[in-house]
Amino acid sequence: MSSKRKTALIASAVALFMLALGWASVPLYRWFCQTTGFGGTTMRASAEQAAAVKPVARTISVRFDANVDSNLPWKFAPEQTTQTAQLGARTMAVFLAKNTSDHAITGTASYNVSPDEVGKYFTKIQCFCFTKQTLQAGQEVRMPVIYYVDPSILQDDEAKAVKQITLSYVFHEDRTSSEKLGAKGLDRAATAR
């Protein structure tokens, strides 16, 4: 095999590898963050896994922060700004979302936990994050989050001194879903004529 052909094959293989890596980077990054708690990413647990965690006497303050992208005409806020959570005990927080527009809109929430070093100890059992939420015009809904703070936080020299954890959400419009809802509404209006 000639050196030009060998170089072309190597370059093609590298290009294909880079393309595959680019395609897989988002799921790989999400997996890495969820596994390690990197960047304040919380852990996920089933109800059965959460039931196996034994609560301890110590408590921690959890603060809730709710934000809405400026292009999304929704109101979004926690029912309670802070809660005192017993380490290892399942706790529920509720957020309220209201569509203030005159048409249906779909939104999706992203989240983070701070300080970053506690992300791997903040475990959600049930959450509305990364799930498309469609609210009709003027509709208001309650969105629960069930979570616990893993007692193993007490063994982490960096995290055990933390007195308050902040769980922060930002709702963004899911334009593809909202555009489909808008197109359905236009189709119904045209059919009704």
CA-based nearest residue to 128, from 81, 85, 76? 76
Per-10-residue mean pLDDT of the chain, 193 residues long, equals 78 71 51 47 64 87 95 96 96 96 94 90 88 94 94 93 94 75 46 38
Domain spanning 39-184, CATH class: mainly beta
CA-based nearest residue to 124, from 50, 27, 39? 50
The answer to whether the CB of 166 falls within 8 A of the CB of 116 is no
User: Which tens digit of pLDDT belongs to each residue from 141-179?
Assistant: 999 999 999 999 999 998 999 999 999 999 999 877 655
CA triplet 23, 170, 94: central angle to 5 degrees?
120
Please tell me whether the overall predicted TM-score, pTM, comes out greater than 0.75 for this model. Answer: no
Residue spans of the domains in the chain: they are 1-36, 39-184
Helix (H) or strand (E) holding 25: helix 3-36
User: Which tens digit of pLDDT belongs to each residue from 84-95?
Assistant: 999 999 999 999
What backbone torsions phi and psi does residue 6 show, to the nearest 5 degrees?
-65, -45
3-state SS of 116-157?
A: HHHHHHEEEEECCCCCCEEECCCCEEEEEEEEEECHHHHHCC
